[in-house]
Amino acid sequence: MCLASHQLKRCFDFALLSSRAVTAPRHSPTATRLWQHRDYMLLWSGQVVSTLGSSATSLIYPLLILALTESPGAAGVASALRALPYLLFSLPVGALIDRWDRRRVMIVCDLLRALVVLTVPLAVWFDVLSLAQIYAVAFAEGSLFVFFNIAEVAALSRIVPAVDLPRAAAQNEASFGAAQIVGPSLGTVLFQTLGHAAPFAADTVSYLVSALSLSKIKTDLRAPPKVGARHLRTEIAEGLRWLWQQPLIRYMAVLTGGMNFIYAATPLLLIVLAKQMGASEIDIGLVFSIGGISGVVGALLFQLSAVVDCCDGDVARLTFRESRFGEQLDLIGDNAVHMAIFGALGWAACA
């Protein structure tokens, strides 16, 4: 998963949490049994494996293109094509997901992503891989991720009791962050030792594992049926109005959008600079794995700051101040790691 997609996913998670207001006792027994929740663990475990595979290949796309063309510009186009679907499709997909069976959407997306990614190792093995195919795979995988990601975030609130949503989202973020620490190093080790096709083959397997885990979920993940005529354009407009009326979500949308705009080129810049300094693919993977540590730390700090307030002893909700504080801690960690990496590279280049 690329940086932009990861930040947007986090924003959707906070949107889900902050919009919930439910009746639950202060010491609800469900609050201590998250790891014993069968369907949640199926969703969580499948996504950890899938995130591990995706974080491995997200770094391999630019490395593969650089190996084929030696053109940073060509590698940048692939990164843009992988992130572009969120800009193009997120609004209509958000409205469509409420009409469809979310579990089926996620399974179909996983199977299609496995099929799409599998074409890369097949093309490598038959020596027919082209830049155009890599671009097509990057765009298709990014498009399917939009459908999957929005369905996944909506499904979480159907599986996990509302009182546990802050803890579930923080646990997801920490686990996905851990996968993103291991993923870049795993992908580059496979790329350098077993060949260019190996990371994509591993990613294909990770999607199949995710689809299998999702198929075992028994909870009905469909949205409650709505009465009356439903128009896609009207629902999109309602969603935008709702976003604007929510201070937390409006803040998160502006913040993550600005961060993504600033840091979208960071991974490719790091790769090109490291290559110019003679770094191997494994060295580059280690740099990105170190950068992923901030995501885990930020998620753990968010879990500590996401205190569930109880009003009159029965209404649990996540406040704007608490969730904003947790996200700021995460972003501070991201910025600190970026500055440390660039500072180290600059010092090494001048030495």
Contact call for residues 320 and 341 (beta carbons, < 8 A): no
The span from the CA of 224 to the CA of 246, in Å, is 22
Answer yes or no: are the C-beta atoms of 330 and 302 closer than 8 Å.
yes
> Contact at 8 Å (CB) between 261 and 292?
no
Indicate the pairing of strand 315-317 with strand 309-311.
Answer: antiparallel
How is residue 78 written in tokens?
């692939």
CA atoms within 13 A on the CB side of 311: 8
Query: Per residue in 175-211, pLDDT tens?
Result: 887 888 898 999 999 999 999 999 999 999 999 999 9
pTM: 0.78
Closest CA to 160 of 303, 42, 324: 42
Q: Can you list the residues of the chain whose pLDDT is less than 70?
A: 1-33, 225-230, 262, 294-351
**Dist CA 100 CA 21 (whole Å):** 24
* pLDDT attached to residue 342: 53
Quick one: DSSP state of residue 232? H
Give pLDDT, residue 242: 79
Q: For residues 301 and 293, give the distance between their C-alpha atoms in angstroms, rounded to a whole number.
A: 13
Range of 159's domain? 3-17+24-350
Q: Which tokens is 134 given?
A: 């890599």
**Total number of domains constituting the chain:** 1
The enclosing domain of 303 has a CATH number of 1.20.1250.20
Q: Report yes or no: 39 and 218 within 8 Å, Cβ to Cβ.
A: yes
User: How close are the terminal C-alpha atoms of the chain, in Å?
Assistant: 34
pLDDT at position 252 is 74
- Reading phi first (left if > 0) and then psi (alpha if -120 to 50, else beta), residue 6 is in alpha
